Amino acid sequence: MRLFIYGTLKRGCFNHFYMHGQQFIDTARTAPLYRLHNLGGYPGMVLAEKGLSIEGEVWEIDEACRARLDVLEGVDEGEYVLEPVPLLPPFDDEVIQGYRYLRSVEDRPEVGTEWTERKL
């Protein structure tokens, strides 16, 4: 499956080792539907009425990697949900999954359109 990542899993970031053995496809941007917040060392992408186009990467991952990422992202605990993320061309005709943050981002600072480790 193809996965859009936008935070600590990206190349050069703290949790990138989770992507070992998976295939990097390309950089990508979401449709302007989201906002990115600093949750204390990692980002959360949330739907927003006045959304931005979030920068990230598209990867081809296997089921074992997806299972590890679901644990990391707290899917069973209701922290993130894995769902289709609309991307801009050239990925606009593909169904690409991504992790969207489900909890409140009140009092969490926005970080613009791109997460970098410098924003910790």
Tens of pLDDT, residue by residue over 15-49, are 999 999 999 999 999 999 999 999 998 999 999 99
Look up the CATH architecture of domain 2-119.
Answer: Roll (3.10)
Tokens read off for 56: 């990230």
Options 73, 79, 83, 106, the catalytic residue: 73
Catalytic residue flag (residue 73): yes
For residue 8, is pLDDT > 50? yes
Domain boundaries, the chain: 2-119
Global pTM value: 0.94
Residue-wise pLDDT for 60-103, tens only, equals 999 999 999 999 999 999 999 999 999 999 999 999 999 999 99
Please list the residues that pair with 56 across neighbouring strands. 28
Long-range contacts of 72-75 (CB under 8 A, 24+ apart): 72/15, 72/18, 73/99, 75/99
How far apart are the C-alpha atoms of 42 and 86, rounded to whole Å? 22
